[in-house]
Structure 1
Amino acid sequence: MTAPMDAPESSQHADPEAVVAGAKNPASRSLRQIAWQRFRKDKVGMAGGIVVVLLILVAIFAPLLTAWFGYPPNQFNQQMIDPATGGVLLDPDDPVPGMLDPWGGIGADHLLGVEPVNGRDLFSRIVYGARTSLLVATVATVVCVVIGTVLGVVAGYFGGWVDTVISRAMDIFLAFPLLLFAIALVGVIPDGAFGLTGNGLRIGVLIFIIGFFNWPYIGRIVRGQTLTLKEREFIEAARSLGAGSPHIVFREILPNLVTPILVYSTLLIPTNILFEAALSFLGVGVNPPTATWGGMLENALRFYTIAPHFVIIPGLAIFITVLAFNLFGDGLRDAFDPRSSD
């Protein structure tokens, strides 16, 4: 049972002019239609959404893009590197000692240049780094949403001692030193566990840490929304008709929580991307030679004097990705805000 609405008159005998006028009336449109029209007017949010879609496509089609525009991400191109300094030679075919390329080998063959010391293609590693970052952040966000939604709805709907226990658990998790715990846990994990080995195990541990310890953020939002919704008239009407708790939770409350969950998820993903990049930067994330943006930044700090592009490119990748998700999330939040006006 949803919120009651007045049944419209039959449109079979309606005046065509009235139908056209009703199509322009905001009251005759659904929430999704209104939100989409608001979002389309938000040029900044639309731009962020387009960048997010492009990033997802880049991550999905990373092997294809690498085959078309780059080289394998772990292929060494030592012929482009000066053995004395580790910098990128200005002309690999006719090298002159000390003549380094200030642009890091950027050209038709290497769209974003190459790494110093080993000469790996930066474009390929940025593309595969997007796959790693989005995989960890997206799956971890899904774990956060599932745990936070379940516990938030249970706490808000049932209240009493159930709400007290879950709320105190949220406070404990929010006070937990997550970064230090992640560094300690990832640093001592064995080479194989739970049927996983190598980077598969590392990625699984990262997803577990981020998802399991970040759920209180969305749990608090869901709990607050549930406390508000369970006092609404349509919930009381469902109870008066004999609906039980499972029906009310799954058919009445959860559909009305989709919008805040969706909006907050888009704002949580960039936070998780930064967390994964921070762990990789500290050397306790995904193991090399797998490409990660944080790992590339950690390597770049040792060569920023001879290869500044090696610092700028992965830094820009993280900055653009996080900014795009934040702008997209802000746009969705404004579009679904019932206090916004057309």
Structure 2
Amino acid sequence: MTAPIETTSASAEAQPEAVLAGAGRSQIEGRSLGQIAWTRFKRDKAAVAGGIVVVCLVLMAALAKPIQAVFDLDPNKFNQDLVDPALQAPKGPWGGMSWEHPLGVDPGFGRDLLARVIEGSWVSLLVAVGATLVSVLIGVILGVVAGYYGGWVDSVVSRLMDTFLAFPLLLFAISLSASVQDGFWGLTGLPLRIAVLIFVIGFFAWPYIGRIVRAQTMSLREREFVEASRSLGARGPFIIFRELMPNLVAPILVYATLLIPTNILFEAALSFLGVGIAPPQASWGGMLTDAADRYEADLQYMFVPGLAIFITVLAFNLLGDGLRDALDPRSK
């Protein structure tokens, strides 16, 4: 039988090298869910690029008027000297591009395309974001209520969703926009047009996000933390706002980001049909309408607003995909 190994106090003490090796290291700290999601999001280069483009577009739309004032860009200024009176086409190559008009001018009127694209950006983004907020507000409220309470409440809300999804949205938008052109609720002109577009697009698009929120709520209401809240005596409204809503922020944010480009395209389609933003106010869809009437004179006039819509929709889609992967890595 071997004798126990004796250790001296000197050998039990930490060696100087070990102490020095750990002296400069900071304490390990945990990361929140937001920090983890941000780390995942930064790894997606396409999503980061889309986010940068979205930020630039929002800044351009918010500062459209100051930009036009600083650089003397008038979207409705006619430059007849830049248009060939016989062909009604811009003079010079590439649609009349020059240092004063980097993107050229439109045929027939000679209006600066860059100024009109900047002017149309705030209209398209305002309508798209406003309609998205309306859709998210209605869809989240009804979706959470239907998913949590179930029973006859779920049946009524679900049938209401089916009714709205079966509604001919485009025909209703055309008829409503045409019937309130003179004035409604004290609004006239451009504010009326924008309000009608936000109402039509947002009010009839809420079932899409409502279904997603309803399905997520039905899954969350059976989780342990919800059962624990019920066992402590918490009622429905408290559970919805304190337990369910924080866990629904991620899917709501992702879907709202993906819904904005859809609304941009819908607003452009209505303006293209002549029931959206009325001229002379510049809008991307209205510019496409004018380009379709004059495409034989200048194809560039169709290319510029079409490219603006394409870049905006692509940027929002890339940002939405990146947020989805960052907030819910299991979706990959």
* Same fold? TM cut 0.5: yes
2:218 to 198, 219, 227: 227
Q: Would you say 1:145 and 2:128 are equivalent positions?
A: no
Aligned to 2:15: none
TM-score, normalised relative to structure 1: 0.88
Aligned to 2:274: 283
Deviation of residue 339 (structure 1)?
2.1
Letter matched to residue 79 of structure 2: N
Matches within 5 A, 1:203-222: 203-222=194-213
Matches within 5 A, 1:155-304: 155-304=146-295
Deviation of residue 199 (structure 1)?
1.7
1:74/1:142 CA distance change after superposition, 3 Å = same
TM-score, normalised relative to structure 2: 0.90
Q: Is the 8 A contact 1:70 1:109 kept in 2?
A: no
Deviation of residue 283 (structure 1)?
0.5
Deviation of residue 21 (structure 1)?
7.3
Matches within 5 A, 1:21-40: 22-23=28-29, 28-40=30-42
Q: Is the 8 A contact 2:324 2:331 kept in 1?
A: no
Residues 101-134 of structure 1 deviation map (CA, whole Å, 9 limit, x = unaligned):
2311212101211111111111111001110000
Deviation of residue 65 (structure 1)?
1.8
Letter matched to residue 66 of structure 2: L
Aligned to 1:47: 49
Q: Is the 8 A contact 1:70 1:124 kept in 2?
A: no
Cα distance in structure 2, aligned partners of 1:298 and 1:116: 13
* Structure 1 stretch displaced more, 290-299 or 242-251: 242-251
C-alpha RMSD over aligned residues: 1.8
Cα distance in structure 2, aligned partners of 1:174 and 1:225: 20
Q: How many residues align?
A: 312
Q: Would you say 1:122 and 2:113 are equivalent positions?
A: yes
Letter matched to residue 310 of structure 2: F
Aligned to 1:322: 313
Residues 19-57 of structure 1 deviation map (CA, whole Å, 9 limit, x = unaligned):
85744xxxx321111110000000000000000000000
Cα distance in structure 2, aligned partners of 1:134 and 1:337: 27
Q: Is the 8 A contact 1:69 1:111 kept in 2?
A: no
Residues 203-245 of structure 1 deviation map (CA, whole Å, 9 limit, x = unaligned):
1111110111000000000101110111110011111111111
Cα distance in structure 1, aligned partners of 2:69 and 2:264: 26
Identity %: 63
4+ long deviations beyond 4 Å: none
Aligned to 2:86: 84
Cα distance in structure 1, aligned partners of 2:140 and 2:328: 20
| Unmatched segments (≥5 aa) in structure 2 | 1-21
Cα distance in structure 2, aligned partners of 1:162 and 1:20: 54
Q: Is the 8 A contact 1:137 1:276 kept in 2?
A: yes
Q: For the pair shown, which has the larger CA radius of gyration, 1 or 2?
A: 2
Cα distance in structure 2, aligned partners of 1:184 and 1:192: 14
| Unmatched segments (≥5 aa) in structure 1 | 1-15, 90-100
Cα distance in structure 2, aligned partners of 1:106 and 1:218: 44
Deviation of residue 163 (structure 1)?
0.2
Deviation of residue 178 (structure 1)?
0.7
Cα distance in structure 1, aligned partners of 2:168 and 2:277: 21
Q: Is the 8 A contact 1:59 1:134 kept in 2?
A: yes
SS at match of 2:282: coil
